Amino acid sequence: MPTETVDPRYTDLDRWPTENAVEAMLEGQIAAVAALKEQTGAIAAAAEAAAARLRAGGRLVYAGAGTSGRVAMQDGVELTPTYSWPGERLVFLIAGGMAALARSVEGAEDNVERACAEVDEAGIGRDDVVVGVAASGRTPYTVAVIEAARRAGALTIGVANNEGAPLLAAAEHPILADTGSEAVAGSTRMKAGTAQKVALNLLSTAIMLRLGRVYRGLMVNMRVSNAKLEARANAIVREAAEVSRERAAAALGEAGNDIALAILIARGMDPAVAADALHVHHGDLRAAIEAGSGAR
């Protein structure tokens, strides 16, 4: 596998001056991001298909083992504070369980039976979207999750760093981050891990775009949980509704710090009517506004 091969350019990396080594590793990180250039179409198609399932009430499921599992979980947990994606609509299937996020659980990534059992226990079905991540693309646990989820009717997306990998063949929407060999042979926490994180950032953000959780480039579904975010929320309402700081603060108060709802209120809508408009449009603020619900 390319991700496991030794690149002769780095054979004596441990003897290089530290700054030269860091420069070489940085070049690898830049190349890792560039490796996704040809995958924008695949990522967009996966995001659109995922949004359609999730709009029907499905869950977003992340699966992986080791570094890939940790990268996948990081992407998922950030969706709740950033986009108010409900925690009950997030599922994490990590080889070895949550304990494996902090320490290695020997043999967990090879446990195909456990992978299939976890898909069944989670009740994964047609409305769900399952994203499997594996640098090699051959991790038995992750491949088994994707195969079982697809049999159950879920939409499946696979992210891997080796062309022709079983994970990519198993997933309905394959995303190849072809990062090649690492500066430190086999250390896929480097280039491969970087490309995985970028691919997941693009995928999940595109999903949230299609679900209407972004309006005019603003995080209108962000959760307000501290003073810094209160100030940011006020700025978002001011910009989106074109109102004063005081009007934005009042609207946020009426909306219980629900930013999308506050924007509609600031635009002159009755709070109850605004809440209903967002419900009808599945939380899509732009759709609510364009339907005439949020006009002044």
Please identify which residue in the block is written with the tokens 């605004």: 274
Catalytic residue among 48, 88, 106, 109: 109
Token output for 234: 């006020």
Look up 88 and say whether it is catalytic: no
Catalytic residue among 19, 23, 48, 78: 78
Judge whether 127 and 56 are in contact, CB under 8 Å.
yes
Q: How far apart are CA 173 and CA 295, in angstroms?
A: 39
Displacement of CA 114 from its chain's centroid (Å): 24
Displacement of CA 207 from its chain's centroid (Å): 8
**Closest listed residue to residue 154, CA positions, set 91, 104, 211, 196:** 91
Q: What is the DSSP string of 112-134?
A: HHHHHHHHHHTT--TT-EEEEEE
Taking CA atoms, 122 is separated from 38, 65, 91, 125, 266, in Å, by 34, 17, 8, 9, 41
Measured between alpha carbons, how far apart are the two ends of the chain, in Å?
59
Look up 109 and say whether it is catalytic: yes
- For 227, other C-beta atoms within 10 Å of its C-beta total 8
192-207 burial code (b ≥16 CB/10 A, e <16): bbbbbbbbbebbbbbb
Taking CA atoms, 200 is separated from 64, 143, 194, in Å, by 13, 17, 10
Q: Hey, which residues are catalytic here?
A: 78, 109
